[in-house]
Amino acid sequence: MPDSSFILAVAGFSFVLAGFVKGVLGQGLPTVAIGLLSLIMSPGEAAALVVIPALLTNIWQGWYGPSLTPLIRRLWPTLLASFVGTFVATALGLGLLTPEAAALARKALGIALTLYGLLGVSRIQLLVSPRTEPWLGPTMGAANGAVSTATGVFMFPVIPYIQSLGLERDDLVQAQGISFTVSTLALTVVLLGAAP
């Protein structure tokens, strides 16, 4: 186990870099921070450190904008499925909170970040038709709950799904913040429930 000054230095660097990425892109604080912190601690411990800063920044991003009500009306099935999916995945043992799960969680985190990164640098432009939203949204939400439970990162697959809805830029940033807030709240409840 690294000494506490090294952990503090890595955590400080991780949060500064993650905050910069969040400021520039409107997303990425948990992804960057958990990705870096998982190099020196389990993803569960990293998620526990990230949950409060993520919640505060996501509330600000998601809830203080002009399109809150229309976005919630449109996305509520996805958001509900993401919230419930977190608890279903926890009940199925996909959680990142046990020492036995730490190695698997690191692999799952690596896979999720790689897939998201590949999608981001590719020229693939996904577009969801309004006809498929009623079933695809909850499917992506539930999958997002499972991925966030296993990795502590709640960007994949729900953020590519939200990006494929054809929202205006400001609405897209706000929708991402709303989704991040719901996922962070669900993960917070799971982490608090597992606390000794």
pLDDT at 18: 87
- What are the tens digits of pLDDT across the range 133-181? 999 999 999 999 988 887 777 888 898 999 999 999 999 999 999 999 9
What would the two tokens of residue 23 be? 């400021």
Could you say which DSSP state residue 28 is in?
-
**Helices marked H in the chain:** 4-25, 29-37, 43-63, 68-91, 99-121, 133-151, 158-163, 169-194
For 3, left (φ over 0), alpha (ψ -120 to 50), or beta? beta
- What are the tens digits of pLDDT across the range 93-114? 766 555 666 677 777 777 877 8
| Residue labelled with tokens 């009623």 | 134
| Residue labelled with tokens 């499925």 | 81
- Sign for the CA dihedral angle at 186, 142, 88, 156 comes to negative
Could you say which DSSP state residue 156 is in?
T
- What are the tens digits of pLDDT across the range 12-25? 999 999 888 888 87
- Average pLDDT of the chain is 86
- Of 18-22, 74-78, 117-121, the one with minimum mean pLDDT is 117-121
Whole-structure pTM value: 0.80
Cα torsion for 57, 18, 89, 156, to the nearest 10°?
Answer: 100
Write the single-letter amino acid at 146: A
Element (H, E) at 59: helix 43-63
